[in-house]
């Protein structure tokens, strides 16, 4: 069995994974959903990676799953502990020397999101529910909103990404084809240009761990089984 390490996106709360975590445990895996120091202005990507490494401890058989902004810190983790597989989920892909703040303009994310919004007849103004929660079940959305908006410091976006290259770790990219924040065609281009890999698509928007946890778990388990090879568990 594996140790799944679930890294959240902006806001850094482990609660994002609350529907996925029990499903993975039911399959016999150890699961760590990490809380990141997202509200701490003293914490940058190195400190985010520290939090993940501390949570891992001496566990092995690691499968890192990085949601959205988690794509900035997960590769750093993979240079510090032995990782079997890194799964990028609707994630940002940094380049060496590029700050998280520069990523937005360098990739053209805003223009890509605007094109998708125009195509689908969405409001031009950003709206959290329309862009992020459009496919999340009402009761799940209510539970998330009841917790209040998680703070996200700008500190992790200020410094250049510290790695000289992507770590030598098997990497898969899984993208929700209905993502209104990072549209699928945008992510396809980013994965090709920045990592030289293709992407896999699944139904769902940006928050697939909340909207389609069972399908997400199936995809993750498929990746893990493929890595293990015939007869692997």
Each residue's pLDDT tens digit, 134-163? 999 999 999 999 999 889 999 999 999 999
CA pair distance 99, 52, nearest whole angstrom: 20
What pairs with residue 88 in β-bridges? 66, 173
Is pLDDT larger for residue 229 or for residue 159? 159
Are residues 193 and 199 in contact, defined by beta-carbon separation less than 8 angstroms? no
- Residue 231 scores a pLDDT above 70: no
- pLDDT of res. 204: 97
- pLDDT of res. 230: 52
Are residues 14 and 151 in contact, defined by beta-carbon separation less than 8 angstroms? no
Are residues 183 and 116 in contact, defined by beta-carbon separation less than 8 angstroms? yes
Are residues 143 and 219 in contact, defined by beta-carbon separation less than 8 angstroms? no
CA pair distance 10, 28, nearest whole angstrom: 29
Q: Which CATH architecture has domain 3-228?
A: 3-Layer(aba) Sandwich (3.40)
Are residues 103 and 161 in contact, defined by beta-carbon separation less than 8 angstroms? no
| Dihedral of the alpha carbons of 46, 74, 56, 52, in degrees to the nearest 10 | 40
What residue has token string 């103004």? Answer: 125
Q: 190-197, long-range: CB within 8 Å, 24+ apart, which pairs?
A: 190/93, 190/107, 191/88, 191/93, 194/93, 194/94, 194/95, 195/93, 195/166, 195/171, 197/171, 197/172, 197/173
- Residue 232 scores a pLDDT above 70: no
Map out the domains of the chain as residue ranges: 3-228
Q: Is the pTM of this model over 0.85?
A: yes
CA pair distance 163, 82, nearest whole angstrom: 16
- pLDDT of res. 229: 63
């Amino acid at each position: 069995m594996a140790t799944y390490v679930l890294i959240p996106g902006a806001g850094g709360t482990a609660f994002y994974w609350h529907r996925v975590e029990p499903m993975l445990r039911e399959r016999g895996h150890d699961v760590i959903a990490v809380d990141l120091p997202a509200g701490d202005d003293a914490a940058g990507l190195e400190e985010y990676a520290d939090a993940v490494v501390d949570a891992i401890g001496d566990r092995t058989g690691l499968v890192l799953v990085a949601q959205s902004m988690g794509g900035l810190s997960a590769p750093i983790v993979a240079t510090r502990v032995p990782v079997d597989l890194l799964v990028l989920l609707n994630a940002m892909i940094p380049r060496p020397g590029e700050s998280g703040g520069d990523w937005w303009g360098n990739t053209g994310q805003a223009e890509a999101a605007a094109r998708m919004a125009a195509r689908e007849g969405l409001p031009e103004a950003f709206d959290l529910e329309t862009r992020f929660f459009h496919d999340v079940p009402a009761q799940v959305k209510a539970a998330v909103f009841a917790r209040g908006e998680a703070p996200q410091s700008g500190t992790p976006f200020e410094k250049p990404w510290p790695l000289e290259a992507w770590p030598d770790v098997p990497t898969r990219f899984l993208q929700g084809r209905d993502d209104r924040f990072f549209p699928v065609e945008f992510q396809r281009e980013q994965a090709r240009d920045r990592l030289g890999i293709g992407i896999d698509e699944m139904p769902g928007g940006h928050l697939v761990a909340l909207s389609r946890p069972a399908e997400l778990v199936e995809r993750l388990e498929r990746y893990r089984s493929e890595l293990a090879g015939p007869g692997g568990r």
